[in-house]
Structure 1
Amino acid sequence: MEVFPEERKRYILDQLEQSPKVRVTEISRKFSVSTETVRRDLGELEGEGLLKRVYGGAIKTNDQSEPPLLSRQQVKATEKEKIAKSAAALIKDDSTILLDVGTTVLQLAKEIKDKRNITILTNSFLAAGALMENIDKDYFSGTVILLGGQLDPRQYSMTGKVAEMVLEQFTVDQAFISVGGISLENGLSDFDFDECMISKKMIEAAKEVVVLADGSKLGTNTFCKFGALEDVDIVVSEVAMPASWQGNEKFRTVEWMTTRD
C-alpha cells in the first residue's frame, strides 16, 4: 500500500515523542522506501524546525522557536501556492478581511486578484507590500490597512499591545490564519507568543475564520495555543482530513477544503 510523504513524516514525529532518536534505516525498512527518501523527509522536517538531523537519523529538537519568515518561504512552496489559490477563491467583492503573518498567508496576499472594493487589514509588512503591488497592477481594487504596533524584525510584522488594541476596533468578514500546528488536543498553536496573541485577536474580530495549514501542520502541537477547533469555520489544506479526525465532535462545524492540482 502506498504511503504518502506526510504520513511518513507524521510517523517520524510520533516516534520522536516516544524515543530520543529515529534511525534512517529503520524508517526505510518500515515504509519500503530508499534511505535517500527518508533523508529528504528528515531534511524537510528539520527545515520546519520540528527535529534535528544527526548521523544516521534525527533527534527531537528542544528549540520551540520558529525560523525567521524569509527562511521559511521556500519550505513547501508548491503546497503553499495551492492552498493560497484555493483560499483566494473564498474572498468576495466588497468584503473586509484580515491576514496574519504566516508564509502561506503571504502567498495568499500575492494570489488576491479579480476582486473589487475589498478592505484588507494585516500586520505583515511583506503582505502589505504584495497587496499594494497588486493594486498598482490593477489586479484588484480596495484599501490596505497596515496595523500599527511593535516591530518584529524576524517576521517583518507588527505585534504587541498596540496592535492588539487596534484590532479590537474592527469587525471583519473573514480572517485568514496560518498555524504552526493544528491538533485535536490543542486546537490551533504557533511558535511565537506575540504572533499568537495577534492571531487570537483576529479570530475574535472575524465573522468567519479560515485556517491555512499544509499537511506537515496536521497533528502538530507547537509552543503557544491561540484558538480552539470550534473557532474555525474552514480549513484549507493540500491533504485530506486525517481519517482519525473524521467524525470527531470538534470538527462538527468545520468545513475541510482540500486543494486540487
Structure 2
Amino acid sequence: MSLLSEERKSIIVDELNRNNKVKVVALAERLQVSSETIRRDMDVLEKLGLLTRVYGGAVKRGYQAGEPPYENRQDLNREAKQRIGQKAASLLQDGDTILMDTGTTVLELARSIRDRKRLTILTNSVPVASLLINAIHNHVFSGKVIMLGGELNPEQQSSGGALCESFLSAFHVDRAFISVGGVSLVTGISDYDLSESMVTRKMISVAKEVIVLADSSKIGIQAFCQIAPLEAVDLLISDLPNPSSWAAELEQKGIAWLEASEVE
C-alpha cells in the first residue's frame, strides 16, 4: 500500500534527522514509489527550508555560508530560545558554579535567571557578561561573574583562542550550558566557528554536567566544526520533544532530553 504524500515527507525528514542526508533511489525502493515522486517530495521540502537538494538526494539544511553574526541570530527562533532559556534557568541551584558560552540561546538563559543566591558564572560572551552584571547590580540574583579572557571576536562578540582555553584550565564547574550549531546522532554536537568550538570543547572537559541548549532548527544538523560526540552531553533542552527515531539511541547513550514548555 502506497503512502500519502505527507507521510512520505515525514519519513524523509525523519531520515534526515537521523543521518543528515538521504538518497532518492534508496527512499524510492523503501517507500515503493518512483524516484520522480521522491524528487517532487524533496522539492516541496526544499521550498519549506527543511533540506537542500544535492546530486542523487538531499542533505539537512544548515547555514551554507557560515553562521550569521551574533546580532542577526538573536531574532531567529526567538520564542523557542526564550522557552529553552527559562527551562535551563529552572535547573539552577543556589551556590552553583556554571559556564555559559556565546550562543544566543544562552543569552536567553542569562535573561531568565531569577532569585538564585551565590552563583558563580564564567562566560566568554560579552553580551551575556554585561546582562548578568546588570542583573546582579539590580538584585535579580546574587553572585559573581568571571569574564574569560582571550582574543575578542567583534562579529560574534566573544573571547576565544588559546588564551581563553588556558584560562578555563584553572576551573572545575558544576554545569556547562552550551548552545551549538548542530546536533546529530551520527556526528554529535558541532558549530560553525573553529575558535568558539575549541573553547566549547574545553568547557565540556571542565564541567561535571554538560547541558546543550538547541532549538529545533539545530536538530539533525551537522555544522562545520565538530565539538564532541553526543555521549559527552548529559542533557539536551529543546523546544520540541526528541525525534521518535532518536529515543532508543539517546537512552543507550544516557542522554536526557527536556522539552521546554510555553513561555511563562
TM-score calculated relative to the size of structure 2: 0.79
Write out aligned runs for 1:140-151 (5 A). Answer: 140-151=141-152
Query: SS of the counterpart of 2:171?
Result: coil
- Is structure 2 residue 108 aligned with structure 1 residue 116? no
CA RMSD in angstroms, aligned pairs only: 3.3
Write out aligned runs for 1:64-79 (5 A). Answer: 64-79=65-80
Post-superposition offset of 1:94: 0.5
TM-score calculated relative to the size of structure 1: 0.80
Query: SS of the counterpart of 2:248?
Result: coil
- Is structure 2 residue 197 aligned with structure 1 residue 201? no
Change (3 A) 1:208 1:172: same
Change (3 A) 1:251 1:211: farther
Q: Is contact 2:250–2:256 with CA below 8 Å preserved after alignment?
A: no
Q: Is contact 1:189–1:222 with CA below 8 Å preserved after alignment?
A: yes
Structure 1 CA distance, aligned partners of 2:239 and 2:61? 26
Number of the residue aligned with 1:22: none
Number of the residue aligned with 1:232: 233
- Amino acid in structure 2 at the alignment position of 1:199: T
Number of the residue aligned with 1:220: 221
Post-superposition offset of 1:181: 0.5
Structure 1 CA distance, aligned partners of 2:107 and 2:122? 13
Write out aligned runs for 1:70-219 (5 A). Answer: 70-219=71-220
Aligned residues: 237
Change (3 A) 1:234 1:62: closer
- Amino acid in structure 2 at the alignment position of 1:164: E
Structure 2 CA distance, aligned partners of 1:78 and 1:130? 19
Number of the residue aligned with 1:35: none
Q: Is contact 1:184–1:250 with CA below 8 Å preserved after alignment?
A: no
Unaligned 5+ residue runs, structure 2?
25-38, 54-59
Structure 2 CA distance, aligned partners of 1:259 and 1:61? 22
- Amino acid in structure 2 at the alignment position of 1:133: N
The superposition leaves residues 44-98 of structure 1 with CA deviations (integer Å, 9 ceiling, x where unpaired) of x7xxxx869xxxxxx9788451110100100000000000000001111001000
Sequence identity (%): 40
Structure 2 CA distance, aligned partners of 1:233 and 1:30? 36
1 or 2 for the larger relative contact order (CA 8 Å, sep ≥6)? 2
Unaligned 5+ residue runs, structure 1?
20-24, 32-37, 53-58
Post-superposition offset of 1:216: 1.1
Post-superposition offset of 1:122: 0.1
Q: Is contact 1:64–1:222 with CA below 8 Å preserved after alignment?
A: no
Q: Is contact 2:177–2:213 with CA below 8 Å preserved after alignment?
A: yes
- Amino acid in structure 2 at the alignment position of 1:118: L
Change (3 A) 1:77 1:8: farther
Structure 1 CA distance, aligned partners of 2:222 and 2:159? 24
Change (3 A) 1:73 1:62: closer
Structure 2 CA distance, aligned partners of 1:119 and 1:208? 15
Post-superposition offset of 1:251: 4.6
Q: Is contact 1:238–1:260 with CA below 8 Å preserved after alignment?
A: yes
- Amino acid in structure 2 at the alignment position of 1:237: S
The superposition leaves residues 88-127 of structure 1 with CA deviations (integer Å, 9 ceiling, x where unpaired) of 0111100100000011001111111111000000000000
Write out aligned runs for 1:22-101 (5 A). Answer: 26=40, 41-42=48-49, 63-101=64-102
